[in-house]
Amino acid sequence: MKLLVTGGCGFIGSHFIHLALAKDAGTSIVNLDKLTYAGRPENVADLKNEPRYKFVKGDICDAALVRRLAKDADIIVHFAAETHVDRSILSAGEFAKTDVLGTQTLLEAALHSGHERFFHISTDEVYGSRKSGYFKEDDKLEPNSPYSASKAGAEMMVRAYEHTYGLKNTITRSSNNYGPNQHPEKFIPRAITNLLRARQIPIYGTGEQVRDWIHVRDNCEAIWMLLEKKHLGIFNVGMMDGQTNISIAKRLLALTGRDETSLKYVEDRKGHDFRYAIDTSKLRAAGWKPQVNLDAGLKETVAWYRANQKWWEPAVIDK
C-alpha cells in the first residue's frame, strides 16, 4: 500500500507510521504534517534514511498540496487534528477549521484521486458522557466540548462523502491513548513530567471522572488490522476498563516514588464530561485484542519519560 498519513509527526500518527513500515515491507508512506506545537520531527527522525518514507511539511487545509499528494497514494489515513480539550475551550475556531475543513479538503482530494476509501481517526468523545453502560457504534453522537464537536463534524463530512459521492470509509473511535512520545499537555504525560520534576499534579474537581485508557500501540494495531483487511464502517477501539483520573494519578505517584502531597485539586474544567465508555465487541469480533495491560503500560511510559527528558522538557507546561 501507498499511504498518505496526515499528522504523522504527532503522538498516535508517529507510532502508526513505525508500526506500518515494520508490518509490511511493501508499504510506503508520505507523512504530511504542519508541525504545530504537537508535531515533533524527533518522533520520526529515525526514518530519515528509510526509502519507503517521505516527510512533507504542509497544512491539510491546503487543497492544492493535498490533491497533489493524494494522486500518488492508494489511501489517506487521517490522524491530523487539533485534539486538546482545554485548548478547544479557549480557541474553538481553530479546532473547527483544522478538524472539519481540513477533513473535507482531504475527502475532496481522495475523491478526485480515485481512492476507493478513506480512513479517518476519530475519538470516543464524540458520543458524549454517560453514567453507566457502553456506547456502541450506532449510538447517537452528543459531543460536549468544542474539540469533540469538531471531531463529530469531521465524521459527518466523512459520512456525507460516502452517501453523496460513494467514497467508502473506515472510522475508528478510540478511547484515551497513552504511551511514549505523547505531548505533556495531556493528563498522563503531564502528571509524569510534573512528578519527575517534584511538582504537583493538577486534578480537576475531585478526580472521579472516568476514562478508558488504551496504550498507543494497541490502538495502532487496531488501525493497521482494519486497514490491511479493508474493513469498512465505524469501530470503537478501547479496553472497556474505565479508571478514575485520581486512580491513574495514584498509580503514577507509586511509579515515581511520590506521595499524595503531590496532588493538587483545582477547579473543574468547563463542561467536563464525567465518563467515557465504549463497547469494543465489534472490533474484537473482527480479530483484534489488546496486548498491553494498564499497569505494564504505565510502568513502561514512566520509564520512557524518565529516560527522555530532552524530548519533553522544552514542551512541559508550568515550567
Q: List residues with catalytic annotation.
A: 124-125, 147
Residue 223, helix vs strand vs coil: helix
Are the CB atoms for 28 and 52 separated by under 8 Å?
yes
Are the CB atoms for 30 and 106 separated by under 8 Å?
no
CA separation for the pair 70, 64 (Å, rounded): 10
Q: What number of other Cβ atoms are within 10 A of residue 241's Cβ?
A: 14
Using CA atoms, how far residue 75 sits from 92, 168, 245, in Å, is 29, 11, 37
What is the pairing mode between strands 75-78 and 117-123? parallel
CA separation for the pair 8, 15 (Å, rounded): 8
Q: Quickly tell me which residue has 513500515 as its cell.
A: 21
CA separation for the pair 9, 303 (Å, rounded): 22
Of 122, 99, 217, nearest to 173 by C-alpha is 122
CA separation for the pair 18, 32 (Å, rounded): 15
Distant-in-sequence, close-in-space partners of 286: CB < 8 Å, separation ≥ 6: 225, 226, 229, 231, 235
